[in-house]
Amino acid sequence: MSKQILILPGDGIGPEIMAEAVKVLQLANDKFDLGFELSFDQLGGAAYEQYGVPLADETLARARAADAILLGAVGGPQWDAIDPALRPERGLLKIRSQLGLFANLRPAILYPQLADASSLKPEVVAGLNILIVRELTGGIYFGSPRESRVLENGERMAFDTLPYSESEIRRIARVGFDMARVRGSKLCSVDKANVLASSQLWRAVVEEVARDYPDVELSHMYVDNAAMQLVRAPKQFDVMVTDNMFGDILSDEASMLTGSIGMLPSASLDANNKGMYEPCHGSAPDIAGQGIANPLATILSVSMMLRYSFSQGQAADAIEQAVSKVLDQGLRTGDIHSAGTTRVGTAAMGDAVVEALRSL
Ligand code: NAD
């Protein structure tokens, strides 16, 4: 039976980078006889324009029925002033929560060819390979009550809520330990247990889960220290597990260690490894429509999809090898360009990966 993949290009650079990822996916589909059927729909601002909401019910139904989802990115300044409940990012939060995609895997791998593109010294980042496991459907981005109001004295105030239940922490901790087990057997849990009640529960539950993983070395770190350690000595980390907001921030920080956020894929998985795959970056409105965005994070998201949702390790490896080969050829989009390399646009980069994959 064929496998259904729903493609949601989104906004800004989303459609540009997705066009390249789809070329690579279609070639992998033919070359490895994967039996995928692709269908397309809208999410975010594009969905707001077409359906009047950032995630239409019919799109959500298609996403539920699909075996995996490939997403570009959502958001843009043209939707900044609309009703907050209809903003593009709300569509993204809704699809993640409605599909129960609670585990966000964000690898930060430094390709040796890009050591010069990192903002840190090559010896600090050479060989870097970190996996950040971010809780994705709980915490402060979803907590209620959340409110913005005007006080009696006329001053504006606003607040958010940061809730975590024991079961939410337990299931993401398990993902962290499971990932550590198949990698370097080291897990660092990041929290703010010196200040936040939610983090104190986080730490206690992670300790409990650790009893089932005696082979994994567990450490805890406060998020402010983790932010510092990531730029001081990032290779001390193997797998990091953390909450929604801390993971959002730390994974963007980790991305710069690798040269560019344009290189970083991600997977968001449910309890059965059904997943939505997307680059870590946003819709980059500042460069949208110029044909210069880096499509490699989205192409590498295809590789994660093949590996995690379809157990097609050989095809996933081939895509990663093709990306590495293109970097060996010296091709670079603007975000990873440096002296002595060849600057190319989005489509040329995608075509080069397709050619490299074809010739493997
Ligand atoms: P961003 O990731 O879109 O851009 C940050 C910087 O990185 C920009 O200078 C951009 O040009 C650059 N960049 C990002 N991706 C790139 C790529 N593939 N190639 C080359 N350069 C790239 O973050 P932002 O500017 O904070 O947010 C822009 C919009 O994206 C906002 O509306 C935000 O809400 C949204 N956003 C969406 C997602 C998502 O869809 N998952 C994630 C983050 C931000």
Domain ranges of the chain: 1-114+265-360, 129-257
3-state secondary structure (DSSP) of residue 19? helix
Whether the pLDDT of residue 234 is over 80: the answer is yes
**Ligand 1 probe mutation, 86, 283, 331, most atoms within 8 A of CB:** 283
For residue 269, the one-letter residue type is L
CB 34 within 8 A of CB 28: yes
The residues, ordered by sequence, that sit 6+ positions from 317 with a Cβ below 8 Å of its Cβ are 303
Tell me how far CA of residue 299 lies from CA of 130, 178, 201, 235, 238, in angstroms.
19, 25, 37, 25, 23
CB neighbours (10 Å) of residue 134? 28
Q: What percentage of residues in the chain have a pLDDT greater than 90? A: 90
Question: What integer is the mean pLDDT of 52-60?
Answer: 98
Confidence band for 330, pLDDT divided at 50, 70 and 90: very high
Q: Which residue has the tokens 């390790």?
A: 313
Question: What integer is the mean pLDDT of 156-167?
Answer: 98
Question: For residues 169 and 181, what is the distance between their CA atoms, to the nearest angstrom?
Answer: 18
Distance between Cα 11 and ligand 1 center (Å):
10
What is the position in ligand 1's atom list of the atom closest to the CA of 335?
A: 20
What is the position in ligand 1's atom list of the atom closest to the CA of 282?
A: 3
CB 298 within 8 A of CB 278: yes
Q: If one looks up domain 1-114+265-360 in CATH, what number appears?
A: 3.40.718.10
CB neighbours (10 Å) of residue 183? 16
What is the position in ligand 1's atom list of the atom closest to the CA of 44?
A: 40
**Cβ of residue 284 lying under 6 Å from some atom of ligand 1:** yes
Give residue 338's pLDDT: 87
Could you give the residue numbers annotated as active site?
A: 141, 192, 224, 248, 252
* Rg of the chain in Å (alpha carbons): 20
Length of the chain: 360
Question: For residues 347 and 16, what is the distance between their CA atoms, to the nearest angstrom?
Answer: 8
CATH of 129-257, one of 3.30.70.380, 3.30.360.10, 3.40.718.10, 3.30.450.20: 3.40.718.10
Maximum distance among all Cα pairs of the chain, rounded to whole angstroms: 69
Confidence band for 273, pLDDT divided at 50, 70 and 90: confident
**Cβ of residue 74 lying under 6 Å from some atom of ligand 1:** yes
Whether the pLDDT of residue 169 is over 80: the answer is yes
Average of per-residue pLDDT values in the chain: 96
**Cβ of residue 262 lying under 6 Å from some atom of ligand 1:** yes
CA angle 106, 63, 295 (to 5 degrees): 45
**Cβ of residue 75 lying under 6 Å from some atom of ligand 1:** yes
Q: At what angle do helices 57-65 and 88-98 cross, to 10 degrees?
A: 40
CB 236 within 8 A of CB 228: no
Residue 352 in tokens: 């080069």
3-state secondary structure (DSSP) of residue 105? strand
Confidence band for 256, pLDDT divided at 50, 70 and 90: confident
For the entire predicted model, the pTM comes to: 0.90
Question: What integer is the mean pLDDT of 217-238?
Answer: 97
Question: What integer is the mean pLDDT of 39-55?
Answer: 98
Residue 308 in tokens: 């995690």
**Cβ of residue 266 lying under 6 Å from some atom of ligand 1:** no
**Ligand 1 probe mutation, 79, 276, 281, most atoms within 8 A of CB:** 281
Question: What integer is the mean pLDDT of 245-271?
Answer: 91
Distance between Cα 299 and ligand 1 center (Å):
16
Q: What is the pLDDT of residues 170-193, one digit of tens each?
A: 999 999 999 999 899 999 999 999
3-state secondary structure (DSSP) of residue 288? coil
Confidence band for 255, pLDDT divided at 50, 70 and 90: confident
Q: What is the pLDDT of residues 96-146, one digit of tens each?
A: 999 999 999 999 999 888 888 888 998 899 889 999 999 999 999 999 999
Question: For residues 257 and 110, what is the distance between their CA atoms, to the nearest angstrom?
Answer: 7
Q: Which residue has the tokens 């398990």?
A: 174
Give residue 172's pLDDT: 98
Give residue 25's pLDDT: 98
Q: What is the pLDDT of residues 72-86, one digit of tens each?
A: 999 999 999 999 999
Question: For residues 113 and 192, what is the distance between their CA atoms, to the nearest angstrom?
Answer: 36
Distance between Cα 282 and ligand 1 center (Å):
3
Q: Which residue has the tokens 């922490």?
A: 169
Nearest Cα to Cα of residue 297 among 320, 317, 315: 320
3-state secondary structure (DSSP) of residue 74? coil
Nearest Cα to Cα of residue 43 among 86, 83, 9, 67: 9
| Closest protein CA for atom 22 of ligand 1 | 262
Whether the pLDDT of residue 240 is over 80: the answer is yes
**Cβ of residue 293 lying under 6 Å from some atom of ligand 1:** yes
